[in-house]
């Protein structure tokens, strides 16, 4: 059954500009929660989205971590999927051509790696693809042993991988930052200096659950990434801090599930906002948020959404 889109969204200006590319609205489905968009396209026309960031891609195919790798918890969930993906060759040869049939806007390519060289190679491959509008450099995934999260913890290493990718890509480069960094604002400033066109934040926070019957960690990976409404205040604070530290756009991520959350993130400094875990709870979460934006804008006397970016700063 196809879900209809609310036409009232056309009555106000929800558009934003992200790295020179216009989005009809600031709502972006987050990588890892939206696959390649196909399943969601069977429920509603996903072209209503600002865009989406497709599944994190590595140079070679990855099976991911052992099961179980998802666990529920109050106000959120834990995941330790481990970057399961078919590899860049399969994404370019199969997923992108298939995607072009149901999504007709520039898409965000989420790039993952285990070395500077791997990041650069995958990003360079996607840079040649017409459908890709932005490269999102994921240096913050906490659920992979020996993975790219280590690059996001320190300004120097974050700048190193950003600089290497910047040299081989021409498309807008968004660097996804880790909340585990000692000073996320310093990391943001470092990647800006190294050539990033924008930053996105936050990724999940490390957490775990214990099975009381087995008296062992519930996840096979022991630890997983906490996401959902529980992390929203943390993400909001980090977006606020990073906005003050950089002059490039910020994409806010973390626990967003309502139109009011989008507005709050934008007031903190976000140009656009990614919606993640909410998609797993409710497949029409992004659509519901987009349909609710005009009402929320009217409630808070907002005529043009882009005017409020960073509005909470004095």
Active site residue 73: no
Active-site position among 19, 112, 141, 286: 141
Q: Are 66 and 8 a contacting pair, CB within 8 Å?
A: no
- Residues marked active site are found at 141
């Amino acid at each position: 059954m196809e879900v209809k889109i609310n036409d009232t969204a056309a009555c106000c200006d929800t558009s934003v500009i992200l790295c020179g590319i216009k989005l009809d609205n600031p709502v972006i489905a987050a990588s890892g929660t939206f696959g390649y968009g196909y399943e969601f396209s069977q429920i509603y026309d996903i072209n209503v989205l600002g865009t989406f960031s497709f599944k994190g891609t590595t140079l070679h195919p990855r099976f991911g971590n052992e099961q179980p790798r998802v666990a529920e918890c109050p106000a959120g969930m834990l995941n330790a999927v481990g970057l399961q993906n078919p590899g860049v060759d399969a994404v370019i040869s199969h997923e992108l051509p298939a995607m072009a049939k149901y999504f007709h806007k520039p898409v965000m390519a989420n790039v993952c790696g285990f070395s500077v060289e791997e990041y650069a190679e995958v990003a360079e491959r996607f840079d040649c693809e017409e459908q890709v509008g932005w490269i999102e450099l994921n240096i913050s995934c906490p659920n992979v042993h020996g993975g790219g999260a280590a690059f996001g913890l320190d300004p120097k290493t974050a700048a190193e991988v950003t600089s290497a990718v910047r040299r081989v890509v021409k498309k807008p480069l968004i660097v996804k930052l880790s909340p585990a960094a000692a000073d996320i604002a310093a990391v943001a400033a470092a990647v800006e200096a190294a050539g990033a066109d924008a930053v996105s934040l936050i990724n999940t926070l490390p957490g775990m659950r214990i099975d009381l019957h087995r008296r062992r960690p519930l996840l096979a990976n022991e630890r997983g990434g906490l996401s959902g409404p529980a992390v929203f205040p943390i993400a909001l604070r980090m977006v606020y801090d990073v906005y003050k530290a950089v002059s490039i756009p910020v994409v806010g991520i973390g626990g967003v599930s309502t139109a009011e959350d989008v507005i709050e993130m934008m007031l903190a400094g976000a140009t656009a906002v990614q919606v993640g875990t909410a998609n797993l709870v409710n497949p029409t979460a992004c659509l519901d948020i987009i349909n609710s934006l005009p009402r929320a804008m009217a409630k808070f006397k907002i005529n043009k959404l882009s005017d409020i970016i960073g509005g909470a700063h004095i």
